Amino acid sequence: MDDEGRKELEAQWTRVCDRLRKEIGDKAFKTWFGEVEPGESKAGKVRLYAPTRFVRDWVSRHYGDRVLAYWHAVNPDVSSVEVNLVPPPTVKRNEIIAMPPVPAPQSFQQPMPKFGPAIGRGGDEGFSGPEARYTFANFVVGKPNEFAYAAARNIAEQDKPLPERNPLYIFGGVGLGKTHLMHAIWHAIRERDPKTRVLYLTAESFVNRFITALRTKNTGQFKELFRNVDVLMVDDVQFICGKEASQDEFFFTFNSLVEQNKQIVLSSEKPPSELQDIEERMRSRLGSGLVADIHSSTYELRLSILQTKAEGARVPVPTNVLEFLAHKISTNIRELEGALNRVVAHGQLIGREITVEMAQDVLHDLLRQADRKVTVDEIQQRVAAHYNIKLAEMSSPRRARSVARPRQVAMYLAKQLTTLSLPQIGKRFGNRDHTTVMHAVRKIEELKVSDISIAEDVELLKRQLQG
């Protein structure tokens, strides 16, 4: 299965899980489905993986029909769902292991399973290196990520971990560069001292390995993996939330490495305080070193990332097209990159000149999704209600902060969520000039970085409007 297919399968599984959880309650859900994962899907047949035989049998017997019914509701093409035992571990693309120049441990040399939950670009089996382009040099630094960047560099450059910076815990939303920074640390450490033993793996991979080790009664081998590591990096640790046994093991591994003064780097979508279903001792451990967040991107950062990436493209991309993309695609950097690639590929393959119209055309599905037909009226109503001011203040000339700030938020959202131009937006806000709108957009971009409550307001409103 390719990346797209896998993403789609996971998205469907998430929806099925939501329904299941509603029906059977949190507790039963966690017991039976907490560690069940989608394996693959082919010709209407979906395969799930259960961590143990017992769970597999129980889920098939007691929940099989419901899982199928829900899945069918989510995707009518699905005609059967089968629950299998999770296949044995292998080297996955989401693990990068740099060991001393001795053969890699046995467990990394097994062949890929047929239906392995491998994630990545596919292709080579066995050992895989970090993503070559995820280096510090290729990381564009701006306000939202400068602290995380500095922290990552610092970790990569130091000789001995400083207790107050161990672990380094990087958190931020999806697609904002966490994995990129971790791989960059990997490259930098190995460049400085190729003998350093760095182990990078996703939390998912940690959990899968652990479950398999338990099942095959081979926890010794599992522990061995971590024993000689100098630097341990675990990506997306939010994944271990709610997985008790794995959490305990992680805690244990973590402590023993810290005791040996080994550096640990973690990434997560959430700060330690917001992780759910996690033991207190674990939470405080995770946050006990240096916690660095990556804020959602600003227009300036997006533009400079696009400029950097466009420089490497084979066809020139005009500045106004980059600006257009930076404005319209604000969800995350991954989508932004994808959009640029699509535009460039079109320009190249079809020999079409790259213009804003062309980009609009090529990306219409993406942009439509981003716009989701939110109207200025809706935005004004929502924002007014949120800040408890009169709707009329949206177009009034009053400049008091209590109404001016909400108005700026609304203008910002109008720019983000609709296809209207700055002058068009200005018109809807009491006939204001387009420079006023531009100022509002910049102001809110800035405040989103410096003022967490504005950032939260904006995110919440955006979600409500798009939902």
| Binding stretches for ligand ADP (CB under 6 A) | 134, 138-140, 145, 172, 174-180, 305, 333-334, 337
Output 301 or 444, the one with its CB closest to ligand ADP. 301
Per partner kind, with CB cut-offs from 5 to 8 A, the member of Mg ion, ligand ADP, none near residue 64 is: none
Give the integer Cα–Cα distance in Å for 325 and 131.
25
Alpha-carbon distance values, 431 to 122, 394, 397, 436 (Å): 54, 11, 10, 10
Alpha-carbon span 352 to 346, nearest angstrom: 7
Out of Mg ion, ligand ADP, none, what residue 51 binds, judged by CB under 5 to 8 A for its kind, is none
Least Å from the CB of residue 182 to ligand ADP: 8
Q: How far is the CB of 223 from ligand ADP (least distance, A)?
A: 27
Closest distance to Mg ion from the beta carbon of 302 (Å): 18
Residues in region 177-196 near Mg ion by CB under 5 A: 178-179
Sequence-distant (≥ 6) Cβ neighbours of residue 259 within 8 angstroms: none
Binding-site partner at residue 289 among Mg ion, ligand ADP, none, CB < 5 to 8 Å by type: none
Q: How do 37-42 and 45-50 pair as beta strands?
A: antiparallel
Report the nearest approach of ligand ADP to the CB of residue 119 (Å): 12
**Pick from Mg ion, ligand ADP, none: which does 140 bind, CB < 5 to 8 A by kind?**
ligand ADP
Give min distance, CB of 171 to ligand ADP, in A. Answer: 9
| Minimum distance from residue 204 beta carbon to ligand ADP (Å) | 13
Name the binder of 247 from ligand ADP, Mg ion, none, CB < 5-8 A by kind: none
Task: Count Cβ atoms within 10 A of the Cβ of residue 217 and give its class: 0-12 exposed, 13-18 middle, 19 or more buried.
Answer: exposed
Residue with the CB atom nearest ligand ADP in the bound state: 177
Angle between helices 401-417 and 376-387 (to 10 degrees): 150
- Lookup: tokens for 312: 């490497």
Nearest to 177 by CA among 340, 337, 339, 333: 333
Dihedral sign computed on CA atoms, order 135, 141, 145, 151: positive
125 binds, among Mg ion, ligand ADP, none (CB under 5 to 8 A by kind): none
Residues 161-180 close enough to bind Mg ion by CB under 5 A: 178-179
Which residues make beta-bridge pairs with 84? 49
List residues near Mg ion by CB under 5 A.
178-179
